[in-house]
Structure 1
């Protein structure tokens, strides 16, 4: 089912006209309402009249997370607080939280794009959706919640954690759709095994997973363990929350709701726009938000855009699964390393669990990459010879992929800490 066929199947020129009109209005608003934006535009000699269409987007300055922190808490808002009906914020683990505000119209737009996303995933009004993303300042829980209600599906607002209760409700309520982080879905699968619950005992058919990068191999693992179709959803609180883009049932890229969020791909080093189809950093401009519209916001996520029409009939541009983040990239002895590369190697091996931790140290002037990885119970043996053989196999496979050496330590199942939210995969102990 397509929720908004007129928009989701619009011709490219029609979409461009919608985007251009909305962009002009947005640039006018931020220039006159946000001193930080007016200053940025004046510094490069721009006035709103210089922006006539999306073809002029590249002339505008970028926005970063730091801009939101520098204008904390409400300096980037374009409406008075009397018009803000909801406030969300990031966790602020690396400084001040980034704060976003929503008008009533913004909340309606958010419900619309999440509802479109749910339809892309194959969810319908007869589904029972268990939302196991966190509720609160994090946008995941409430974002999915209101989209489900708008669609007419039944929502179980259980939030994150409380794994035994999650499984009980899945069984008792007949949950058909689960929404959570991909790493937590694997934890649920693990807990099911411990509780003696088979996937056949549940009615799960769709999983909507986001909030962290995950690989195709991890998708296969989740689908096998939980017996459902694993759909990738993408969003970030600065842009709106979940619903910026989502895969359809063909699982060949996430359709971006580009009448609300105009995407670009830039080279993260030169900041120059990149040709269609090339991998680079994803940048978004919001063109319908009233509370806190953002111009050319650097997401730090690495992906590419696909403009071909999808088999589902939608013409919305698609983004590939994120390859990682430009700011999550580790540089180890001059080599670019992404956690997702290591995850792919581990998930191709039958002996390991999909739970790992990368620890980076600096010994003298040399960086070392240490990998803790859980071994499946049947392979965790008292025989040192067997474990050493497996350790060498993993080491070889990772070195072949990354091109650098790695110190592998095998640990027993359930040794590495689990979380109901985003999985912590990297500890960088270098003083860089």
Structure 2
């Protein structure tokens, strides 16, 4: 590995000592500088000096996204305005945006964390890196950008959108790496094919994809369509941004957490009880080095599990599973819990289908009607002609429905349409259309 950190190979004991020291500093900082945290600690009967072991973190109260909105815009900052050098935030589509701040030291740490992540994904100093994450208040674009430069690679800050221009720059600049949402990078691949170009023959060798849950089947689509190694990156603005964890290109078996900066837990989303390693639950993070916007036991809403075992790549850092979905994205279909990624896994197992789908929920009398909308590939349509009258399409629908029932434990209404029936996104794909409440997720 060209760019590595001793932090990635510390023993569990060494990492624990470092985490405890940094946790104690962080707890002291928020207690002294953030009234919200002081009030929450006092209400729980906790003082900073009560944190004498990592296990004591369970005494601390949780944070959640509503706390950010209720303290909008700067009520949770632990640094003065003169110390803040950057502000990021969410889109605010569900009300006021969540706002986070960074000191100069925070930006330096974040850049180093992302540089480590890019190296973990197979990146090298000197790479040309095509960054198709959105720039602006969203942390993805600038987060990757500073890490690319810290690594000593060449950043192409293309951002999202304008797909023909994306393709032109990939053809002309010959990047080795690419980053973006997996759904949008697949859009780029499809557009290349429509233009008569072979996406497998570009200079790209690895891709870093995140900002939306995606399945192993989606990974296969990305790797086969672009002839690259596709790795999953995780992050969220409240905790830092991209780079909180990432898969290694050598093994691609769980995302390595930057444990020297973030302490992870998995809890039961209903009771808040900390769950053992390997058990699935809600992912919780405590920041250990952030100055401007520390978070204490922040409930991410993401569903995952933790694995402390040393990876075959040699890194000893804790790994988290890929995100299965979000607590609030879970669909309950006739009493059965279903995540969109589980639907995606079934659909992408059929070579006749394009990797685009939506779950549409409507009220049907006193009940909810769940439909899964998907589309066939252009070459399959050319073989069968009209979808409505094709016996091959009827067989396909029957096979998909059967597999869906086996995988999910419940039947859904399946709608198979022509290519490009599903709207394309230049950022996060819209997977759930809830017409009961006019909500897009």
1:421 and 2:427 are equivalent in the alignment: yes
2:300: which partner in 1? Answer: 299
What is the CA–CA distance in structure 2 between the aligned matches of 1:87 and 1:57, rounded to whole Å?
28
Structure 1 residue matching 2:264: 3-state secondary structure: strand
1:177: which partner in 2? Answer: 177
TM-score normalised by length of structure 1: 0.98
> 1:118-267 residue pairs with structure 2 within 5 A?
118-249=118-249, 250-267=251-268
Structure 1 residue matching 2:328: 3-state secondary structure: coil
1:279 and 2:280 are equivalent in the alignment: yes
Structure 2 residue matching 1:85: 3-state secondary structure: strand
8 Å Cα contact 1:2-1:8 kept in structure 2: no
What is the CA–CA distance in structure 2 between the aligned matches of 1:218 and 1:172, rounded to whole Å?
27
- Structure 1: where are the runs of 5+ without partners? none
What is the CA–CA distance in structure 2 between the aligned matches of 1:423 and 1:70, rounded to whole Å?
28
What is the CA–CA distance in structure 2 between the aligned matches of 1:86 and 1:5, rounded to whole Å?
26
What is the CA–CA distance in structure 2 between the aligned matches of 1:231 and 1:243, rounded to whole Å?
12
1:24-65 Cα offsets, whole Å, 9 max, x none, are 111111111111111111111111111122110111000000
Shift of 1:5: 3.2
Q: Which has the larger displacement, 404-413 or 136-145?
A: 404-413
1:79: which partner in 2? Answer: 79
What is the CA–CA distance in structure 1 between the aligned matches of 2:351 and 2:118, rounded to whole Å?
32
What is the CA–CA distance in structure 2 between the aligned matches of 1:395 and 1:8, rounded to whole Å?
44
1:163-219 Cα offsets, whole Å, 9 max, x none, are 101111111111111100111111111011001111343110000101011111110
1:393: which partner in 2? Answer: 399
What is the CA–CA distance in structure 2 between the aligned matches of 1:396 and 1:199, rounded to whole Å?
33
Q: CA RMSD in A?
A: 1.3
8 Å Cα contact 1:263-1:284 kept in structure 2: yes
Structure 2 residue matching 1:273: 3-state secondary structure: coil
Cα distance, 1:2–1:274 mapped onto 2, change above 3 Å? farther
2:60: which partner in 1? Answer: 60
Report the number of matched residues: 432
What is the CA–CA distance in structure 1 between the aligned matches of 2:96 and 2:372, rounded to whole Å?
31
Shift of 1:145: 0.5
8 Å Cα contact 1:2-1:120 kept in structure 2: no
> 1:300-339 residue pairs with structure 2 within 5 A?
300-339=301-340
Cα distance, 1:315–1:2 mapped onto 2, change above 3 Å? farther
1:305-344 Cα offsets, whole Å, 9 max, x none, are 1111111211110111111111110112211111001100
1:233-255 Cα offsets, whole Å, 9 max, x none, are 11000011001001111111110
Shift of 1:379: 2.7
Structure 1 residue matching 2:329: 3-state secondary structure: coil
